[in-house]
């Protein structure tokens, strides 16, 4: 996978970034976590991850940092607890949450198989973001009861705090 060649093939990104680098990096980390949830990173999943960088409107230097981050993450995916802790800091951004859930579903479906661990990760992410749980099996979000949303939040809190 030649990220540098991909980046050069893209047109120059506009000076205003859609995502701050930190948010894009967290987004990418969660997508890698989804791809690695079944303990296998397939080439089609890595291509889906690379397409996230391709769609980004960050500056060239930030794109290079994301590409390097992707290479490191593919070699050693981050632990779920760390990702959930970082994610909880972005929970008050509904547009970001919606895009993140959509991108995680895309990565999970990239290999044409939804592993139950991928479903669990998506539900944990929804809990960390405080949004109604989505499911990969139906491909769309469904309404959740307050009790179910509270259970997810409690689970996320226990994972992050280690209790």
Domain count, the chain: 1
The answer to whether residue 134 scores a pLDDT higher than 80 is: no
Q: What is the predicted pLDDT for the residue at 85? A: 79
Q: To the nearest 10°, report the CA torsion of 57, 62, 68, 72.
A: -90
Inter-CA distances, 11 with 34, 60, 101, 108, 118, Å: 29, 10, 27, 28, 34
Mean per-residue pLDDT of the chain: 76
20-29 pLDDT, tens digit each: 688 889 889 9
Q: Do 49 and 28 touch, CB atoms closer than 8 A?
A: yes
pTM: 0.66
Helix (H), strand (E) counts: the chain: 8, 0
Q: What is the predicted pLDDT for the residue at 18? A: 42
Confidence of residue 140 (pLDDT cuts 50, 70, 90): very low
The answer to whether residue 17 scores a pLDDT higher than 70 is: no
The answer to whether residue 116 scores a pLDDT higher than 80 is: yes
Q: Which helix (H) or strand (E) holds 87?
A: helix 80-88
30-78 pLDDT, tens digit each: 899 888 888 888 999 999 999 999 988 888 889 999 999 999 999 999 8
Q: Identify the domain containing residue 91 by its residue range.
A: 3-161
Q: What is the predicted pLDDT for the residue at 15? A: 40
């Amino acid at each position: 996978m030649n990220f540098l060649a991909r980046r050069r093939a893209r047109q120059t990104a506009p000076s205003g970034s859609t995502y701050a680098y930190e948010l894009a990096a967290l987004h990418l980390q969660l997508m890698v976590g989804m791809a690695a949830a079944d303990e296998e990173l397939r080439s089609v999943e890595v291509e889906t991850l690379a397409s996230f960088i391709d769609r980004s409107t960050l500056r060239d230097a930030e794109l290079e940092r994301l590409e390097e981050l992707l290479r490191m993450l593919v070699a050693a995916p981050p632990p779920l607890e760390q990702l959930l802790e970082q994610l909880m800091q972005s929970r008050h951004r509904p547009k970001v949450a919606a895009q993140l859930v959509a991108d995680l579903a895309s990565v999970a479906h990239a290999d044409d198989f939804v592993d139950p661990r991928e479903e669990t990760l998506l539900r944990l992410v929804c809990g960390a973001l405080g949004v109604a749980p989505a499911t990969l099996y139906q491909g769309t979000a469904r309404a959740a009861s307050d009790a179910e949303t509270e259970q997810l939040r409690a689970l996320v809190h226990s994972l992050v705090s280690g209790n």
